[in-house]
Structure 1
Amino acid sequence: MSPTDPIPVAIPVALGDAFAWYAPGPLRRGVLLCGTFGFEQGCAYRSWRELAATIAGAGCPTLRFDYPGQGDSRDPDGPEIPAALDAIRAGIAFLRERAGVEEVAVVGLRLGATLAALSQEDSAGAGIDRLVMLSPFVTGKAYRREMAMQSRLLDVMPDRTPMPQEPDALMVGSFVLGARTLADLAGLDLMAPARPPAPRILLLGPKVEALAGRYRALGSAVETGPFPDLTQLVSDPLFSRTPEQTFALVRDFAVDGATGERDGARDRSLEPCRLTDAAWSEEVSRFGPGLVGILCRPAGAWSGDTVLVVNSGRNPRAGHGRQTTRMARRLAAAGIASFRFDLRGIGDSPDRPDGSLPLYAADSVGEVTAAIDHLAGLGYTPSVILGNCSGAYQAFQALAQDARLRGALLVNLYCFDLKPGTDVETMVRDTFRHSQGYLARARQGRFWRRILSGEIGLSRIAAALLRDAAARLDRWSARMPWRTLQRASVAGRVARIRRRGARICMVYSADDLGIPTVQAHFGASDDRIGRRLGYPVTILPGTDHNLSRQADQDRVFALLERVVREARPAAEPAPARPSRSPGGLSLRLSRSG
């Protein structure tokens, strides 16, 4: 394949319980990508997709997948770690048997590299010919220790205290490692097998020389090198960056020497991927400007209701902590269809034309409209739209513009509008990474120590204070007559939404930074807010911005079911004084208690 040839379009396929993407290629060497787990893979998802496309563009059939219980895959019937090992073996078998390749190269990231190597321990027959291990964990205990440290940084309450953990479990970035998974991790050890996982191995990362020595002693040809850009890949879901130089080395090692002409007829015989369970059935859609989404339908009777879900931040369509996938299948069990999709620049959808971040992008509402049009063409016109944080921003814009939507559930909406020219990346870095403002943190001794050490610059503080002051001024003037009487004002758009019979349900975690925005536009009275929106604002006390705990997700699900039910065309008009929302405290009560 020449550099000018188009990159093959990936095809969704199933590997047992695992959802996978397969990109055909003419060469006889296939490449399997084994990502890492949970939060880290959510950060790396976009870059991992780019690596797969680069390898496929070089001519090798390429396969990447979600482990069972993660992403868009089914939940495994048994323990998580054995299911992940089985999925890796199924991927190798797919490339050899279905794609018809003669050689297989495997690329593993972090825990995925560890599992890829161990998948060959008891494997019989043709296995891995080349193996790339990107910063592997030599033992599962090392992975557990590092995830425990990450958890203390990632899973925190609004006051920055650690989130309470469930007994015998570990939450890491809203992904939960259960007791059995933790026990199985404790038994993983790359130094234990008596034979190497592959004849040729590329090991990139810190402290890999001991493992490289072990593999050389077992007869493998091993190359080593650093992985200097690992942190930028797996530590930040909003601003993760592709490690281009490292991935170029990975591509070259994976495809070097690949030859032959593979039988492409096998690819044409692949059937569309449909994952099903007792309560739901899912299939992938491509629509609009190359967007990718998944329609989840009830296996039983459909109520006629469909929920459209918009990405939060840069989380792929499965959602932070896989919440969206789980919610979609729970909706299907209740007879409600749903559609989760990726905006441009997120997940499996193409890049934005200018390469910018999709967060709070004004033109992304057109992609939401494209999703509504697509669903309408399938006979699943959505009645309710759901979004969290930046997804709530896009959901509100779509609700205001598209009369087909009759209800919205907006979770932790930070702002209704964003002024043109706003530096979104700076706003997000300064606002959402810190639940406390600079003035509040000024009362803390460690804040001043960071200033004196030079870790925080005074110019940065001054700029942040100016932005905070401008935001407070904007909120203060939001209900002034010259703004509320404008048709484009938030109050004006909400009034038009309500006149057509649609309603807005807003949910916040306690002390969320978006709460003052609602008060600025609609006042602090529960009754006044309820009359204007159609529902009172619900505050979930004792939870984090991402609603990581299952109990909080349950309360949001109860609200969503109610909004869907009351958005049906046959439903009675919204009462002038709506009843209290279930599952949380009202805005006024939470602020006083």
Structure 2
Amino acid sequence: MSQTHAPRAQAADARRPEPEIPVAFEGLHGWFAPGSSRRGVLLCGTYGFEQLCAYRAWRGLARSIAAAGCATLRLDYPGQGDSRDASPGEDAIAASVRAIRQGIAFLRAEGGADEIVLVGLRLGATLAALAAREGGVERLALLAPFATGKAYLREMTMQARLLDVLPDRTPIAQPPGSLLVGSFHLGPDALAALARLDPAAEPAAESAAAPARVLLLGARTDALAGHYRSLGGAVEAGPFPDLTQLVSDPLFATAPEATFAAVRDFACAGALPRSMPARAPRAPCRIAGAGWTEETARFGPGLVGTLCGPPDAHPAGPAVLFVNSGRNVRSGQGRQTTRLARRLAADGVASLRFDARGIGDSADRPDGGLPVYAADAIDDVRAALDHLASRQAGPVVVLGTCSGGYLAFRALCAEARLAAAVLVNPYCFALKPGTDVEAMIRDAFRGTVSYAERARQGRFWRRILGGEIRLGTVVRALWRDGRAMAARGAARLARALPGRGSVVGEIARLRRRGARIRLVYSAGDMGMPALRTHLGAHTGRAAARLARRLGYPVTVLEGVDHSFSLPADQDRLFAILTQVLRDAADTTERARIPARRSARGPADARQRAEAQGAVPAGAVSARI
């Protein structure tokens, strides 16, 4: 979609009411849809990496239940997504169960629900079962629940060995006393609470009644089924055959349509109509914490974003625009984007994190295609900049990781309102028209060793002869590897003779405009070949030339994983981003001050700008 036609598409989208609205209560962030029946359904998602994978499908389930007439609420647990962190001294599990009970109260008060249904997924199912023991729940749907917290910990410990690795596939050293799973942290208190978690053994409240109807889907649910039958509940049990496709890959996760249809029917069957439909709350979705305030809103062509800033944000200060990495919702891998935004706000910097179309809570893409590396995602960035500009007039720095780094670079090239970009482990800088993006992504994450290199290994041929690997697959992969080598050679030639369409030519135009690029890589990351292909060496004598070309030297960090999962690595990224923001603010200030005064130096210029109110004092502090 071109920029010319964007307003027309936005107007058309605005005429279609959204079934859900963002809500905030008790420090929790959620999505609510009022219903026409007397029944309310609370969706209790799973935790961390698994919820990151299931997010879009979980949203679809909530919408299908709302379309059937039930008021629905899905929420982020404390310390997850866009909710506030758990209260000091409260472990994450107790806080999550408390949040479910608060969600039930919200459905009764705002949704007018007389009957409550809890639908839980994985660990969320275990937590829902625990919350239901306090009573007030008529129906309970548990999807692939963990019988105990120990069972969850065993599975997550195995997943961590596969998910949390360095670029050379070496496992990341786990933080002492904690568990890192797909960049999400479970601290000592959470681990201790999970080790004790056993819904079937927890004492029920004296006045509590067991849910009258229970749906159990998944393997190894016999013990829970027996437990609920012993309490007098009517239990339906069945398989969950498509669970793996839902919770194992955030980029290519697929919704289990048949299973979710059965869940919707169970949740909504027999719901009685209300005499008058409930109305959606009209208050803005706002949450505040120590040094930050946030508001989640819709804007542009069906986009959803969360604007974060200090309570007294200065409109002329610098700001950050976060773009999605892959199909990760705007809170980010390991919830890093939410934490980084709130940390920036405490230092006086506003930011906007948003979901492009086809990701998280934003509208579907018109073509229904993969949103990653999509050319028209630039239109989403423009709409996000418009939304940010309604609150902030200072320089904007865009930050993206991996595929988000690609989008951030393309946005910097296309949008003059962006002052700089921080690109973290970008896989590429340009795509040839007609590129099969899905095949490219699957090949990239196949591993760092190409089939040509594997062909030199005897075990590789034994696997072919044994039928473990199909020869046709190898031939196709070798053809792709060959084309990739040819493309790298062509790019090297283009770099030597930079033309208008080359990456080097684009960067030269950016530098003439005054924009700068900060490239940050984990040592050995799979995106580094693209750096060498398009921009040349980043070490030795070439390093200084490359730094002049970009505006910053290339930063390569040893011992850091692709997602910057560990807190110490996130601190390093925060320091880099803060420096870029400081430089952008200083450049803007110098441009505002008459040339005859600017000769006194950047430090004096900043003091004069602060005195004139052009930028807030300490807008980007040195607390890094």
Q: Same fold judged by TM-score > 0.5?
A: yes
The change in CA–CA distance for 1:244 and 1:400 in structure 2 (over 3 A counts) is same
Q: Deviations over 1:164-201 (max 9, x none)?
A: 11111111101111111111001111321455741110
Deviation at 1:567, TM superposition (A): 1.3
Aligned to 1:187: 196
Q: Does 1:151 align with 2:134?
A: no
The change in CA–CA distance for 1:248 and 1:265 in structure 2 (over 3 A counts) is closer
Aligned to 1:230: 243
Question: Hey, what's the Cα distance between the residues in 1 that align with 2:242 and 2:292?
Answer: 40
Superposition map of 1:113-512 within 5 A:
113-121=125-133, 123=134, 127-193=136-202, 197-261=210-274, 263-264=276-277, 266-268=279-281, 270-302=282-314, 304-380=317-393, 383-442=396-455, 447-480=460-493, 484-512=497-525
Q: Deviations over 1:55-76 (max 9, x none)?
A: 0011111000011001111111
Superposition map of 1:540-579 within 5 A:
540-568=557-585, 569-570=587-588
Assess if the C-alpha contact under 8 Å between 2:495 and 2:535 holds in 1.
no
The change in CA–CA distance for 1:519 and 1:250 in structure 2 (over 3 A counts) is same
**Given the two structures, how large is their TM-score scaled by the length of structure 2?**
0.87
Q: Does 1:528 align with 2:579?
A: no
Question: Hey, what's the Cα distance between the residues in 2 that align with 1:541 and 1:491?
Answer: 26
| Same amino acid, percent of matched pairs | 60
Q: Deviations over 1:383-404 (max 9, x none)?
A: 1100001111111111001111
Report the AA paired with residue 521 of structure 1.
Answer: H
Deviation at 1:45, TM superposition (A): 0.2
Question: Hey, what's the Cα distance between the residues in 1 that align with 2:240 and 2:451?
Answer: 35
Deviation at 1:98, TM superposition (A): 2.3
The change in CA–CA distance for 1:272 and 1:157 in structure 2 (over 3 A counts) is same
Report the AA paired with residue 405 of structure 2.
Answer: A
Assess if the C-alpha contact under 8 Å between 2:40 and 2:117 holds in 1.
yes
| Structure 1 unpaired stretches of 5+ | 1-5, 574-593
Question: Hey, what's the Cα distance between the residues in 1 that align with 2:144 and 2:395?
Answer: 43
Q: Which moved more, 1:73-82 or 1:85-94?
A: 73-82
Q: Which moved more, 1:465-474 or 1:414-423?
A: 465-474
Assess if the C-alpha contact under 8 Å between 1:108 and 1:132 holds in 2.
yes
Q: Which moved more, 1:534-543 or 1:246-255?
A: 534-543
The change in CA–CA distance for 1:470 and 1:538 in structure 2 (over 3 A counts) is same
The change in CA–CA distance for 1:331 and 1:305 in structure 2 (over 3 A counts) is same
Question: Hey, what's the Cα distance between the residues in 2 that align with 1:248 and 1:537?
Answer: 50
Assess if the C-alpha contact under 8 Å between 2:78 and 2:95 holds in 1.
yes
Assess if the C-alpha contact under 8 Å between 2:140 and 2:214 holds in 1.
yes
SS of the residue 1:567 aligns to: helix
The change in CA–CA distance for 1:218 and 1:482 in structure 2 (over 3 A counts) is closer
The change in CA–CA distance for 1:335 and 1:7 in structure 2 (over 3 A counts) is closer
Deviation at 1:437, TM superposition (A): 2.5
How many residues align? The count is 565
Deviation at 1:483, TM superposition (A): 7.5
Aligned to 1:102: 114
Aligned to 1:24: 34
Aligned to 2:51: 41
Question: Hey, what's the Cα distance between the residues in 1 that align with 2:180 and 2:564?
Answer: 12
Among 529, 533, 537, which residue is 2:554 paired with?
537
Report the AA paired with residue 281 of structure 1.
Answer: T
Assess if the C-alpha contact under 8 Å between 1:157 and 1:542 holds in 2.
yes
**Given the two structures, how large is their TM-score scaled by the length of structure 1?**
0.92
Q: Deviations over 1:112-157 (max 9, x none)?
A: 0110111133x2xx61111100010010000000001111111112
The change in CA–CA distance for 1:547 and 1:481 in structure 2 (over 3 A counts) is closer
Question: Hey, what's the Cα distance between the residues in 1 that align with 2:459 and 2:178?
Answer: 31
Report the AA paired with residue 113 of structure 2.
Answer: V
Question: Hey, what's the Cα distance between the residues in 2 that align with 1:119 and 1:246?
Answer: 23
Assess if the C-alpha contact under 8 Å between 2:495 and 2:534 holds in 1.
no
Deviation at 1:288, TM superposition (A): 1.2
Question: Hey, what's the Cα distance between the residues in 2 that align with 1:129 and 1:245?
Answer: 24
| Structure 2 unpaired stretches of 5+ | 1-15, 592-624
Report the AA paired with residue 98 of structure 1.
Answer: E
Question: Hey, what's the Cα distance between the residues in 1 that align with 2:119 and 2:363?
Answer: 23
Deviation at 1:365, TM superposition (A): 1.0
Q: Deviations over 1:337-387 (max 9, x none)?
A: 000000111000111111111111111111111111222233356511000
Question: Hey, what's the Cα distance between the residues in 2 that align with 1:202 and 1:25?
Answer: 22
Q: Deviations over 1:503-541 (max 9, x none)?
A: 000011111122122222222111111011111111011
Question: Hey, what's the Cα distance between the residues in 2 that align with 1:83 and 1:262?
Answer: 35
Deviation at 1:425, TM superposition (A): 1.0
SS of the residue 1:406 aligns to: strand
Deviation at 1:479, TM superposition (A): 4.0
Q: Deviations over 1:251-301 (max 9, x none)?
A: 000000011215446535x42221001210000121111000000011245
Assess if the C-alpha contact under 8 Å between 1:13 and 1:272 holds in 2.
yes
The change in CA–CA distance for 1:194 and 1:453 in structure 2 (over 3 A counts) is farther
The change in CA–CA distance for 1:262 and 1:487 in structure 2 (over 3 A counts) is farther
SS of the residue 1:378 aligns to: coil
SS of the residue 2:417 aligns to: coil
Report the AA paired with residue 185 of structure 1.
Answer: L
Q: Deviations over 1:443-477 (max 9, x none)?
A: 55654454344333222222223222322322223
Assess if the C-alpha contact under 8 Å between 1:100 and 1:263 holds in 2.
no
Question: Hey, what's the Cα distance between the residues in 1 that align with 2:350 and 2:131?
Answer: 37
Question: Hey, what's the Cα distance between the residues in 2 that align with 1:406 and 1:11?
Answer: 33
Q: Which moved more, 1:437-446 or 1:276-285?
A: 437-446
SS of the residue 1:505 aligns to: strand
Question: Hey, what's the Cα distance between the residues in 1 that align with 2:76 and 2:234?
Answer: 29
Question: Hey, what's the Cα distance between the residues in 2 that align with 1:279 and 1:373?
Answer: 25
Question: Hey, what's the Cα distance between the residues in 2 that align with 1:265 and 1:414?
Answer: 48
